[in-house]
Structure 1
């Protein structure tokens, strides 16, 4: 059975909750695509437990590496992150419930890294990359892809700055209805490049944390704090400082992306990561708990994922044209599945969807996620030659 549909559909009052869905090529432990120790050179098995994350081996040579991440029964920990010395997350897998696994591939430079598993008893452990990667000739197709993605991210974050400034101005003016109208448009550019924002440590939780994600509600900031005020409480009272902080955080993101560069695997992992976001929180109705604009976020995640994939397509056509055809068709299927819910520049409220409609959307996402998860491995191998 496929990944998303393997996870239980649990009914709730408004109106359905799809419980969890995890990253990339997730499979049950013992199934295809999962970890297993002592793999090929450059393969690292990462085991998630409530005590912490362990890597086997704890060191690899510089160059191509694949991390097979397995949840070995952890109930409080569902993700593993590889963080470089500068504090940027260079690879991760999220939303791994007990018994599931997923992988990510990338090319690593020599240096000291940290394996992080938030909420574990021991959250960090060291990981080392030794030596130096063999010099290779940069493929012009991959070079064009990474440059194109850098330009795309900068453009989306510039749009985010403009949209967030407008939202904050409406909040500070006390104009609830205008702020409601501007909330959705501000979410779109964020969701298109969400996985890039997530790579910058605590910036993502400051901007995008939900109430359930914070230990102390008094410290809750970002979009969803404003969303609650506008759509549940019907007021901007107390939201002006939150809006000011959101503007500052988005400006910080804009500064960071100006100098951020990408490797081809970043595009592949990011594309898969955006599909994970759809499966874990958008198609479940958990993301926009007060505005119920989950389908707008869903569509933006898919758009960002497709942009990254489309930029890689010319290079992938050389190595695996059949995979390109499959993924392209399944992206089209997801877009087609979303189309009936389009309403002007936005989408219908998530609360209007039936259980069957949610299942259909989940099926389309799952069918895309499976082949898309293969891209990072293809890209790392081809880009390194």
Structure 2
């Protein structure tokens, strides 16, 4: 599940910003459709109108009747994620298209975007396979799996360079290696999150700790080290232990990437999740609150989302040409906006985010929202 959380107030503000751009849509599925599942979330309940449904493409029509921002997940029995949708504001509706094989699942609502969620046991019935699909989509899945593995493989040497600098006690070298070590992770974060346990170990922010967790014992990963480097301005023996642990956890991620359940709809929904990551962490400046390297993560999230889109585009363009035209426009506009903050056109170095003013942040937020709205429709477009 998502490890890097915003405060509730920030998440609410972001969710309302998405609503303002029209990102909450009524389902176009017909009432009585056996593959349409109504999910009504409140602050203490998660109601679903079907406990069984046919395997294949399903659509969750989610309504948040509570007072808190919520998330909705379809989960495998072992807590791996089939699909998710975050930042569903109070009094709003969203829809999520997913592809599921026959078997047992859970639908979970997370009021306040915290904890394990309120869960309902559900079952997809049928012959054990997911929906039939265009061979072009199989090619897209294969290409994305290769891309995700490449990103993991490229991340490890950069992360080891970072870890070695920490272990050597070289503060400046560790600072320099920090942001580059995160790029591959940020490009493919939905894949990493699908494994459940790795993401909280690697990418947890201080405000993502659950009640009862100990700050010094349970907080591990990049952001724990980020705080030491930029806020504490010193490297302790505990930090050196955490550097080794970071590599161990990233190697586990690298080994598991090829096992990830990837479908065309999970690619499309993952692209939207990456935009949500930008909106709830990078634009607000909360993700990299000590290093202010948020724009590096921002760019990596957008690149990962665009990769999924480009691989799915041949089918989406056939099914919904107007949508792909709009996505092409909005990706180009957001990339152009981000490129204004590059140190030079060929580098992956960006302006420190603490130097980005309020109006500039608003411009970036508007660009994210303009892309997020059509991107939320991509999953439905690839299964038409």
The answer, yes or no, to whether TM exceeds 0.5 is yes
Residues 139-195 of structure 1, C-alpha deviations (whole Å, 9 max, x = no match)? 221121111100100000111112111111111111111110000001111110011
Aligned equivalent of 1:100, options 92, 96, 100: 92
Paired residue for 2:6?
A: none
Structure 1 residue runs without a partner (length 5+): 1-9, 11-16
1:234 matches 2:229: no
Residue 165 of structure 2 corresponds to residue 176 of structure 1: no
Task: Tell me if the contact between 2:29 and 2:36 (Cα under 8 Å) persists in the aligned partners.
Answer: no
TM-score (norm: length of structure 2): 0.88
C-alpha contact (below 8 Å) 1:53/1:80 kept by paired residues: no
Structure 1 position 296, deviation (Å): 1.0
CA distance in 2, matches of 1:19, 1:260: 31
Q: Distance in 1 between matches of 2:62 and 2:278?
A: 20
How do 1:214-293 and structure 2 match up within 5 A? 214-215=209-210, 216-218=214-216, 219-237=218-236, 238-293=238-293
Provide Cα deviations, 1:291-338, integer angstroms capped at 9, x if missing partner: 011111111000000000001111222222221111011100000111
1:64 to 2:67 alignment = no
User: For 1:206, which of 201, 208, 218 is the aligned residue?
Assistant: 201
1:160: which partner in 2?
Answer: 155
Give me the whole-angstrom Cα distance separating, in 2, the residues matched to 1:106 and 1:313. 17
CA contact (8 A) 2:60 2:97 kept: yes
Q: CA RMSD in A?
A: 2.7
Aligned to 1:300: 300
Q: Is the 8 A contact 2:72 2:107 kept in 1?
A: yes
Corresponding position: 1:193 with 2:193:
no
- Partner residue in 2 for 1:350: 353
**The residue matched to 2:70 in structure 1 has which SS?**
coil
* C-alpha separation in 2, matches of 1:322 and 1:63: 26
Tell me if the contact between 1:211 and 1:225 (Cα under 8 Å) persists in the aligned partners. yes
Instruction: Encode CA deviations 1:22-45: one digit per residue, 9 max, x unaligned.
Output: 49985799x743699955331112
* Deviates most, 37-46 or 140-149: 37-46
Give me the whole-angstrom Cα distance separating, in 2, the residues matched to 1:145 and 1:338.
27
d(CA) in 1 for partners of 2:136 and 2:29? 34
Deviations 1:39-74 (A, max 9, x none): 533111222222132212222111110112222214
For the structure 1 residues 35 and 283, does the alpha-carbon distance in structure 2 shift closer, same or farther, using more than 3 Å as the test?
Answer: farther
- Which stretch of the first structure deviates more once superposed, 157-166 or 20-29? 20-29
1:353-368 superposed matches below 5 A: 353-368=356-371
Give unmatched runs, 5+ long, in structure 2. Answer: 1-8
Measure, in 2, the Cα distance between the counterparts of 1:136 and 1:108. 8
Please report how far the alpha carbon of residue 261 of structure 1 lies from its aligned counterpart in structure 2 after TM superposition. Answer: 4.5
SS in 1 for 2:77: coil
Shift of 1:107: 1.7
Matching residue of 1:83: 75
Are residue 125 (structure 1) and residue 124 (structure 2) matched? no
Rounded to whole Å, the distance in 2 between the matches of 1:368 and 1:327 is: 7
- 1:76-131 Cα deviation digits (max 9, x unpaired): x6212111134310011112232233222122111110123344696322111112
Q: Whole-Å Cα distance in 2 between the matches of residues 206 and 130 of structure 1?
A: 34
Name the stretch that deviates more: 222-231 or 65-74. Answer: 65-74
Q: How many residues in Structure 1 have an aligned counterpart in Structure 2?
A: 365
1:139 matched to 2:131? no
Deviation per CA, 1:184-210: give whole Å up to 9, x if none.
001111110011111111211111111
Per the TM alignment, residue 19 of structure 1 is displaced from its structure 2 partner at its CA by: 5.8
Call closer, same or farther: CA 1:25–1:104 in 2, change over 3 Å: farther
Relative to the length of structure 1, the TM-score reads 0.87
- Stretch deviating more after TM superposition (363-372 or 99-108): 99-108
Given that 2:11 and 2:87 are in contact with CA atoms closer than 8 Å, whether structure 1 keeps it comes out as: no
Q: Are the structure 2 counterparts of residues 135 and 208 from structure 1 closer, same or farther at C-alpha, using a change threshold of 3 Å?
A: closer
